[in-house]
């Protein structure tokens, strides 16, 4: 290769690289087989990098354990539930000192709120158990948005989950008991 013919490709390769980095920064998009996220100094908060937000949201719903509770039968079948039924809520109650709570139908909930309201809730809500709010509150904004986009992609389906039952009432649905035994509670 002569000097003049190798210069042009180099220039366009470096501008492609900066374009690629701006995409990673502003649109949460991966760029081919570029730098691994762990080494990319443009990423200030850890978050999932995928081809698009919906794909990131699907991944988060699986590895973040959201399906475990928010998908009917998912825990009992070790995940053998068709994707079209994912995140439609569950009528299996979780009973503890707080009463009995039911994982809401997230696909219906996102129809009722804007993406910004969803992100705000993900970051600020704290009750009730066993929803792992202390962990979910720390989701990166991109990841919270990715979950919203995935839930919108799945679309509305199913019914709302049963309302929570107060501690002194017996639930009529099946439920799991999370009654602390031989454990000193925080109060």
Residues within the interface to ligand HEC (CB under 6 A): 64-66, 68-70, 94, 101, 103-104, 106, 109, 121, 127-128, 130-132, 136, 147
- Least spacing, CB of residue 102 vs ligand HEC, in Å: 6
User: What count of residues does the chain have?
Assistant: 187
With CA atoms as reference, report the closest residue to 113 among 104, 126, 100: 104
Asked if 82 and 100 touch (Cβ cutoff 8 Å), the reply is no
Per-residue tokens: 116: 């910004």
- Least spacing, CB of residue 75 vs ligand HEC, in Å: 9
CA distance 129 to 153: 27
Per-residue tokens: 35: 């730098």
Asked if 90 and 173 touch (Cβ cutoff 8 Å), the reply is no
- Least spacing, CB of residue 5 vs ligand HEC, in Å: 52
Task: Give whichever of 46 and 132 is closer to ligand HEC, judged by the CB atom.
Answer: 132
- Least spacing, CB of residue 154 vs ligand HEC, in Å: 13
CA distance 165 to 100: 5
């Amino acid at each position: 290769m002569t000097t003049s013919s190798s210069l042009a490709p180099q220039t366009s390769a470096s501008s492609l690289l900066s374009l690629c980095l701006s995409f990673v920064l502003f649109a949460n998009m991966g760029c081919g087989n570029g730098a691994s996220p762990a080494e990319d100094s443009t990423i200030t908060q850890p978050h999932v990098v995928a081809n698009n937000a919906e794909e990131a949201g699907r991944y988060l719903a699986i590895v973040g354990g959201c399906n475990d509770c928010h998908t009917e039968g998912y825990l009992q079948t070790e995940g053998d539930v068709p994707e079209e039924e994912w995140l439609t809520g569950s009528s299996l109650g979780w009973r503890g000192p707080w009463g009995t709570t039911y994982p809401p139908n997230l696909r219906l909930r996102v129809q009722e709120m804007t993406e910004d309201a969803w992100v705000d809730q993900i970051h600020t809500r704290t009750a009730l158990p066993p929803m792992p709010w202390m962990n979910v509150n720390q989701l990166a904004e991109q990841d919270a948005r990715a979950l919203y986009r995935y839930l919108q992609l799945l679309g509305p389906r199913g019914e709302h989950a049963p309302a929570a039952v107060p501690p002194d009432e017996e639930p009529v649905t099946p439920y799991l008991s999370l009654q602390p035994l031989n454990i000193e509670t925080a109060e």
